[in-house]
Chain A
Amino acid sequence: DGGITQSPKYLFRKEGQNVTLSCEQNLNHDAMYWYRQDPGQGLRLIYYSQIVNDFQKGDIAEGYSVSREKKESFPLTVTSAQKNPTAFYLCASSPLGTGTGELFFGEGSRLTVL
């Protein structure tokens, strides 16, 4: 089954703890993205990567970190520095340079900070 797989679907964290969300794709896409989805605010870009070992900050990168050691993997770490981490997180991928505007999304991970 091709596509993007995010795990876990649900995650609970205590304040002060870091947590890592997994995102794996087997679409052979060069570009990968992390968005945060909050009610009424739509999707906001956290980080994106267009090539292995390179990534760029999005609009709301503070308190988050990423790595891109492999083409198919783009994990997101929500650190204790993120002031309001409870949210729904979406990972996406796309071919690079096509300009089609089509992102392929995962099913998302819901993080709740207790």
Chain B
Amino acid sequence: AQRVTQPEKLLSVFKGAPVELKCNYSYSGSPELFWYVQYSRQRLQLLLRHISRESIKGFTADLNKGETSFHLKKPFAQEEDSAMYYCALSSNAGNMLTFGGGTRLMVKP
């Protein structure tokens, strides 16, 4: 069975500080990993996907198969980054996603 774990329910940092949201997964095959974000009063939306190797809003995430991790990082947090972040895994070529429990990021001024 596949599983996604986000060990931190809440992460609080000051503006300009680096931020890392942790995500670990368990899956025996080759997973596809994603980060979704939900800003206050907005819909849940895709932030980035590992296969694209892209940087979105300054965020990056590297898939580490050896450590089964997909941590989300940003070198300098901004107040507008405050949101709920979910890590998700897809075990097939489709869009069936398993989500982690989510981490609330609070960026303080």
A residues with a Cβ closer than 8 A to B are 31, 35, 40-45, 48, 50, 90, 94, 96-103, 105-107
Contacts and interface: CB of A to CB of B under 8 A. Distances in A.
Nearest to B92: A99
A101 B100 contact: no
Contacts of B32: 99, 101
Contacts of B100: 42
Contact of B9 (A40, A45, A90, A94): A40
Given A42-B86, A43-B86, A103 B97 contact: yes
How many interface residues does chain B have, given as a range? 20 to 34
A50 B95 CA distance: 10
14 contacts: A31-B94, A40-B9, A40-B101, A42-B4, A42-B102, A45-B97, A94-B95, A99-B93, A100-B49, A101-B34, A101-B46, A101-B49, A101-B97, A102-B95
Interface string B17-39: 00000000000000010100000
Interface of B: 4, 6, 9, 32, 34, 43-46, 49, 86, 88, 90, 92-102
Nearest to A90: B44
A41 B43 contact: no
